[in-house]
Amino acid sequence: MRESAGVSKDLSGHRAVFLDRDGVINENVYYERWGEFEGPLRPEDVVILPGVFDAMRRFSDAGFLLFIVSNQGAFAKGKVSLKSLAETARHVDSLIAGAGLKVAEAYYSFSHPKGVAPFFSGESLERKPNPYFLKLAEAFYDLDLASSWMIGDRATDVMCGRAAGCRTARIVNDSNEISPSDPAPDIIADSLREAADGILVKG
């Protein structure tokens, strides 16, 4: 967890949008070394998806606080250094700030249940689908989670939002399709921009 970006915490009952990062804000990256998609492992691998900043701006203009909640297990799995993941996170932060947007807080879980790195491996309360960070934000920012949304591209994001009492939206993309056994979100969209269209209509 990192410090807040200067947003007042005297916001009783405020609505929030919790954004998964990889596949929602930025592209997932296909790494041939492992033959699978991952979140970007280096700052230079970050590509912001089309329409993302516009969608985030629309949420802010509608009175939603913005949060990032992201699982980042690549270090735990031995794929990259923790420093590289931290530099990548800071780069995403700088791109968002450069677009004139404010994220109240960015929460990252660097653990993985099948990890190999000491202290970062095994089960973790922070890692989605656990709603740990959403409940933490609720307490520190006095949020109304029932009026808030969790947006992600995986079943674990939907499960996390549901467990916290939020409504949910799922982004479907080429690297992650919906399985029949996955929990149903309130909204299915092909981009954050399309998800914003549906969420802002629902309120």
Q: How far apart are CA 166 and CA 169, in angstroms?
A: 10
**Catalytic annotation, residues:** 20, 22
Task: Give me the phi and psi of 183, to 5 degrees please.
Answer: -65, 145
Q: Which residues contact 11 (CB under 8 A, 6 or more apart)?
A: 65, 141, 142, 143
3-state SS string for 146-183:
HHCEEEECCHHHHHHHHHHCCEEEEECECCECCCCCCC
18 - beta bridge partners? 67, 150
Sign, Cα dihedral of 105, 141, 111, 38: negative
Cα 58 to the center of its chain, rounded Å: 17
CA 94-130-37 angle, 5° bins:
55
Residue type, 170: R
